[in-house]
Structure 1
Amino acid sequence: MSAPPLDDVSTRETPAATRWSVVPLLRRLHFYAGVLVAPFLVVAATSGLLYAFTPQIDDLLYGDVLTAASTGAPRPLAEQVSAAQAAVPDGTVTGVLVGEADATTQVVFSAPGLAEEHSTTVYVDPSSARVQGRLTTWFGSTPVTTWLDGLHRNLNLGETGRLYSELAASWLWVISLAGVVLWLARQRKARRRTLVVPEKGAKGVRRTRSWHATLGMWTLIGALFLSATGLTWSTYAGENFAAALTALNAKAPTLDTELSGHGDHGGGGAAPSDPATFDRVLGSARAAGLDGPVQITASSDAAWTVAQVDNTWPVRLDKVAVDPSTAAVTARADFADRPLLAKLSSYGIQAHMGRLFGIANQIALFLLAGAILALIVLGYRMWWQRRPTRSDRRAPAGTAPQRGAWQQLPLWFLVPAPLALIAIGWAIPLLGLSLIAFLILDATIGVWRRRTTKQPEALTTTD
C-alpha cells in the first residue's frame, strides 16, 4: 500500500464547536516554512559562519602579503606607491589603503582585462617599500573572502542568486516568532515553566521538541537580528529599507567631492599617477583628525577621498575630501553626525559580518549559526519521528498540521490581518510572494484531494 499524502492523517471531521485561536494557523505556517525554507537557512548559516572568520582565513592563506616582513618607521607613501607602480606598469593607481600595526600598505590599481569592480592590489612593506605580493581583489577583499562573500550573498550566481539569501532572511523572523508563540501556548496549556531549559524526563518526539523549542528561545534575539540586518542590504527589501531611510531623512550624508570654487585650478584634480600627491593628501587628512587605517581614493577630476575604515568598536568611519592640488580639506562627513538610524544600520551590518566587536563578535556568530543548524536538524528529526508507523499507513515523514486553520481565527485577528499582510508583503516582497504562492498551491492540492478521495480531508493535532 502506498504512503498516505503528507497531510492525510485522520478521517475525523472538523468539530462543530471550534475554539478560536491563532495557534493552529501558526503551527501550520511554522511547519511548512520550516520544512521548505530550512535548506536555504542551512546554506546561509554555513556560508555566513565561514565568512565571519575570513580575517583568520586571510591570515592563513595570504599572511605573507598582508603582514609586513619588517618593522620600523614607514617610508613616505610616494616611495611605496612608486614601488607598486613598478610592479604593475600597465595599471592606473585608484587608491591606497594605509594600515596600522604590522599591516602592509595596499596600493590599488585598475588594470586591463579585469572583471567589473575587480582591481589589482599590490601589497607593500611600509618600512622598506618592498613589494611583498599582488592579488586580484574585489572592493579590497582577497580572492577567498570575495568567494565566501559571494557564496553567502548569492551562491556565486550573481543577482539571481541573491534571491536565496533574501528568501532565507525574509522567513527567518517569521519562523522564529511563530515558534515562540507555539511554545508559549504549549507551556501555558501544560502549566509548565521550562522556557529556557529542556523538559526533564521527556522522551521521543517530546524530548526532541523540548530541545528544539528551548534552543529556539535562546537564539530568538540573534535570529531576529540576523534576519533584520540581512534584509537591509537585500535586493528588494533592501531597496524599500533605503527608501524608508530617505523618506525619514535618516541616510548617512554624502561627502561632497566637488572642487568648483576651491583653489585656482578651476575644478580640475591631480593625476593619480603622481605618487607624491598621496603624501600631501594623507598629511591633510591626518591633520584633520583621521587616525588609524584609512582608504585614500584618487580622482583626476574631483577631490580625493580619505575615509577611515576601522569597523571595530568604537568605530572610526569619518571621511574628508581633499583638494589634491592644494592639499586643502574641502569637505568632511563625520560618523558622529549621521542620523541615529544610519548609525544603527552601520553597526548592525558590521556586527552581522562579525567585524564590530572583533573576536567576540565572531564567536557569537559561530554559536548562533551553530544553534540555527541544530534547530534545523532537530526540526527535521521531529518530522521524521512523527511519521506513521502502522503497517497499513507507513510514511517516510511526519504528518502536517491540519488545513482549515483560518476558520479558527478570532475576529480581532481576521479584521486587521489583510492590511498587515499587504504592508509586510510590500516591505518584504519575497516573503509576500512566496506566501501567496504557497497558499495557492496548498489550496489547489486541497481541492484536488477532496475530489479524488472518498473521505473528507483530515484534521490532526500535534500532541
Structure 2
Amino acid sequence: MTNASSRPPSPPRPGGVGDRRQHSLLRRLHFFAGVLCAPLILVAAVTGLLYAVAPTVEQVTNRPMLTAEAPDGATEADRVPVSALVSTAQAAHPDLALAGVRIGDDDETTRVLFSDPDLPESTLRAVFLDPWTGEVTGDSTQYGSSGSLPLRQWIADGHRTAWLGEPGRLYSETAASWLGVLAVGGVVMWWQRQPTGRTGRTGSSRVRAMLRTGGAGRVRTMRLHGATGTLVVAGMVFLTVTGLTWSSVAGGTIGEVRASLDWGTPSVSSSLPGAQEVSPSADAGAHAGHSGHGDHPPGGAVRVSGLNAGSVDRVAATAVQELRTPLTVTPPTVEGQAWTAAEDRAAYRLTNDAVAVDWATGEVTDRLDFTDWPLAAQATSWLIQLHMGTLFGLPNQIVLAALAAAIIAMVCWGYAMWWKRRPVGSPAGRLAGPPRRVPWSRPTAGTVVLVAALVAYGVVAPLFGVTCLAFVLVSALWDAVRRRVSTPPR
C-alpha cells in the first residue's frame, strides 16, 4: 500500500481542455497497452537478450568445429582442394544435393552445405572440414543467411515465434508494433510531467529532471521507469522499425512498398551468355547417359552440369580472388546457369559484393558490388545486421543486450507502478483502474494529428491497428461499467 508521502507530485495541468484531452488520450493508451501488451514485450525482450549474445556464445561453444589452425608458413597452395572437401562431405551424405560451400578465413573451417528435405525451411545440413588437413570437425545444421547453428537458431525461433510456429509470429509482431508507440508516448508524457516553475524551465533542465532517479516508493519506481525510457527511447524505436521488416503482416506491406519504390535487395545474374536455361526435370532425358563426379544423386534425380571436381575448384579459386572471405559459393539449380559467389555477413563488414562465375572457364560473367545497391537496400541491410548484433561484433551485442535488459526492467517497473497505484487501504487483490477520461470537447489540432498518426501507423502495422481499436473498445466499456457502478440507485 502507499501513503500520501510516497505518492508522486501531480503533473502540471495543461493549459486547456483540449491539451488535457491529448494528455489523457496518451495516458489511457499507455495504460491499456502497457498492461496488456507488456507480457508480449517481456517475452520478446528476454529472448532478444539471449539472441543478442548468441553469436558470441555460438563461437565459444562450437570452437573446435568452427576453427582451424594453418601450419606455419602455409599458403593458399597448401589448402586441401575444395572439390576434395566436397567429396569427403558427400561421402557422409550421399543422398543429399549440394547447396553450397562456405569458404572461411585461414583460421576457420570450410562448410559444405546440403539441401535436406527433412529440415525446416531455410535450414541446411552443414559438414565442417579443416581446410588444411581435410578432416571432418563437425556435422550440424545452419539456418538463414547468417549461418546460425542450432543453439542460435533455437533462440531466434523463440524470439521470432515464441516456439509456437508460424502463428507465434503474430505475438512478436504485436510486441514490436507497440514497443515504439509505448516508448515515444511514454517519453512525451514524462516530458509533460516535469514542472516548469514560475520562471519557466529550459529544455535541457527538463531533460535533466526526466533523468532523476531519487525518491522513495512509487516516486522512485516512476522515476526509474521514466529515466530509463528517456535514455533508450531511440533504441526501442529502432527495434520496432527493424523488427517489423521480418514480421508476418506488416513485413508484407513493407516489402510491397520497397518493391514499388525499387528498394529491394538486388541479386547477381547467374545467366550464362549463349546458354539456354533448362530445368533438371526437363533435361533429365538428355543427360540420362551422362556420368561424372557428383552429377547423379541417388533416386533418379539428375543434377545440372558444373558440379564436377574441376568446376568446383575453378569457381572457388575465382571467388577467393574476386571477393573477401568468408564467402559462400552456390551451385546452379538450372541447366545453363553459372555458379554464384557472395561475401558473407561478418563483423565490421559494411559491404557484401557478389559475382557469377562460369564453371567451365572460371571467368566472371556478372558482378554486383554493394555500392551499386539502392541506398534504401543498403540501409536496410545495415539496420537488420544491427538488430541481429552482427554488424559490429561484440560491442553491437553488448549494446543490444543492455537495451533488452532496460526494456525488461521497464516492464517490471511499469507493473510495480500499477500495483502501487491502488487506493490507500484497498485489498491486495484490487488493482488500480486506468486514468480517468477527460469529458468530451471539440478536438484540438494536436488531438487530430495524434489520432491521424495512430491511424496511419495502424495501416502500415495492421496488428497495431486491430489491438489499438480493441483497447479503445475496452476503455469505453471500462468507463461505462465504472459509471454504472458509481451511480447511486434512485
Which category describes the TM-score, using the shorter chain as reference length? 0.7 to 0.9
Report how far residue 410 of structure 1 moved. 4.3
Distance 1:394 1:129, change over 3 A: closer
1:155-185: CA deviations, max 9, x gaps?
1222211111111110111111111111111
Q: Letter of the 1:428 partner, please give it.
A: A
Q: Letter of the 1:92 partner, please give it.
A: A
Distance 1:368 1:111, change over 3 A: closer
Distance 1:186 1:421, change over 3 A: closer
Backbone CA RMSD of aligned residues: 2.4
Distance 1:19 1:436, change over 3 A: closer
1:285-313: CA deviations, max 9, x gaps?
234x3112111111242221101013322
Compare 113-122 and 222-231 and name the one that shifted more.
113-122
2:214 touches 2:223 (CA, 8 Å); kept in 1? Answer: no
1:313 to 348, 372, 389: 348
Compare 240-249 and 206-215 and name the one that shifted more.
240-249
Distance 1:397 1:128, change over 3 A: same
Match of 2:228 in 1: 215
Compare 40-49 and 51-60 and name the one that shifted more.
51-60
Question: Are 1:400 and 2:434 matched, yes or no?
Answer: yes
Distance 1:29 1:359, change over 3 A: same
Question: Are 1:85 and 2:85 matched, yes or no?
Answer: no
Structure 1: runs of 5 or more not aligned: 1-16, 457-463
Q: What is the DSSP-based 3-state SS (H/G/I as helix, E as strand, rest coil) of the residue aligned with 1:46? A: helix
Compare 278-287 and 345-354 and name the one that shifted more.
278-287
Report how far residue 416 of structure 1 moved. 4.2
Structure 2: runs of 5 or more not aligned: 1-15, 279-302
2:89 touches 2:112 (CA, 8 Å); kept in 1? Answer: yes
1:93 touches 1:272 (CA, 8 Å); kept in 2? Answer: no
The correspondence of residues 266-415 of structure 1 with structure 2, limited to 5 A, is 266-267=276-277, 271=305, 273-287=307-321, 289-301=322-334, 302-390=337-425, 395-404=429-438, 407=440, 410-415=443-448
Q: What is the DSSP-based 3-state SS (H/G/I as helix, E as strand, rest coil) of the residue aligned with 1:253? A: coil
Q: How many residues align?
A: 434
1:388 touches 1:395 (CA, 8 Å); kept in 2? Answer: no
1:157 to 142, 151, 164: 164
Compare 199-208 and 118-127 and name the one that shifted more.
199-208
Q: Letter of the 2:47 partner, please give it.
A: S
1:365-396: CA deviations, max 9, x gaps?
111111111111111111111112325x6654
Q: Tell me how far apart the structure 1 counterparts of residues 324 and 213 of structure 2 sit (CA, whole Å).
A: 55
Distance 1:28 1:228, change over 3 A: same
TM-score (norm 1): 0.87
Report how far residue 128 of structure 1 moved. 0.6
Q: What is the DSSP-based 3-state SS (H/G/I as helix, E as strand, rest coil) of the residue aligned with 2:367? A: strand
Match of 1:20 in 2: 19
2:327 touches 2:341 (CA, 8 Å); kept in 1? Answer: yes
Q: What is the DSSP-based 3-state SS (H/G/I as helix, E as strand, rest coil) of the residue aligned with 2:19? A: coil
Match of 1:62 in 2: 62
Q: What is the DSSP-based 3-state SS (H/G/I as helix, E as strand, rest coil) of the residue aligned with 2:241? A: helix
1:70 touches 1:128 (CA, 8 Å); kept in 2? Answer: no
- Between the two proteins, what is the percent identity of the paired residues? 39
1:389 touches 1:395 (CA, 8 Å); kept in 2? Answer: no
Q: What is the DSSP-based 3-state SS (H/G/I as helix, E as strand, rest coil) of the residue aligned with 1:53? A: helix
2:458 to 425, 433, 448: 425
Q: Tell me how far apart the structure 1 counterparts of residues 178 and 441 of structure 2 sit (CA, whole Å).
A: 23
TM-score (norm 2): 0.82
